């Protein structure tokens, strides 16, 4: 069984994906970490994030786990990843890696922004996890604060909306709801409620 989970930043899709992977005993891939990893390598090497050819070269040789995950967290890396992910050649370079992960015997859980539309269009279960920009900004602010990062809720809300715009209107694999995906609005739900709703969808799909 392949479970494809898409959605905008701070919607809760990553937390849900981890819970479902643990519940079903399936391998899990946070595809956003691939783009954060490419961005991290570029920043470390002093390469401009807007250089698509350089980003493609990094993506072609990038391997999951090659960069300490803690260095991929935080506000700066989220923005950097969004810029890198808008490059069509970078998405193409990482496509095979993601498809190979999804094709493991028994299935897998993947989350991102184009899983149900591009990476796993034939997934048995497709979920699109979302929430209002205000709720997502508050969640992200709480996350940053817990790590000791200075935060301004107004600034984070602006960044959330900018990322939504960039992710939804990029030329390659934009963030859209797959025609056969079930939308889960998590604005008024805690994680237990989201997991319960997702398991109900999966059970209904057989």
Binding positions for ATP = 7-15
SS3 103: coil
The structure tokens listed for 63 are: 């391997």
CA–CA distance, 202 with 26 (Å, rounded to integer): 14
Q: Are strands 182-185 and 125-130 parallel, antiparallel or unpaired?
A: parallel
The structure tokens listed for 147 are: 């790590």
The structure tokens listed for 125 are: 């279960």
Query: Of the candidates 65, 100, 105, 62, which has an alpha carbon nearest to the alpha carbon of residue 84?
Result: 62
């Amino acid at each position: 069984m392949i479970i494809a989970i898409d959605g905008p930043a701070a919607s809760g899709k990553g937390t849900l994906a981890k819970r479902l992977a643990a519940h079903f005993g399936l391998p899990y891939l946070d595809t956003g970490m691939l783009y954060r990893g490419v961005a991290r390598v570029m920043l470390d090497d002093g390469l401009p994030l807007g250089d698509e050819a350089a980003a493609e070269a990094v993506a072609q040789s990038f391997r999951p786990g090659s960069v300490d995950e803690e260095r991929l967290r935080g506000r700066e890396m989220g923005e950097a990843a969004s810029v890198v992910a808008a490059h069509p050649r970078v998405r193409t370079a990482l496509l095979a890696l993601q498809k190979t992960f999804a094709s493991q015997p028994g299935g897998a859980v993947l989350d991102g922004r184009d899983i149900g539309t591009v990476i796993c269009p034939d997934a048995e279960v497709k979920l699109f996890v979302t929430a209002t920009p205000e709720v997502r900004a508050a969640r992200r602010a709480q996350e940053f604060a817990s790590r000791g990062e200075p935060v301004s809720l107004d600034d984070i809300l602006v960044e959330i909306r900018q990322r939504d715009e960039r992710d939804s209107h990029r030329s390659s694999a934009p963030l859209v709801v797959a025609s056969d995906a079930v939308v889960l609005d998590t604005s008024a739900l805690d994680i237990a409620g989201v997991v319960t709703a997702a398991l109900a969808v999966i059970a209904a799909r057989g």
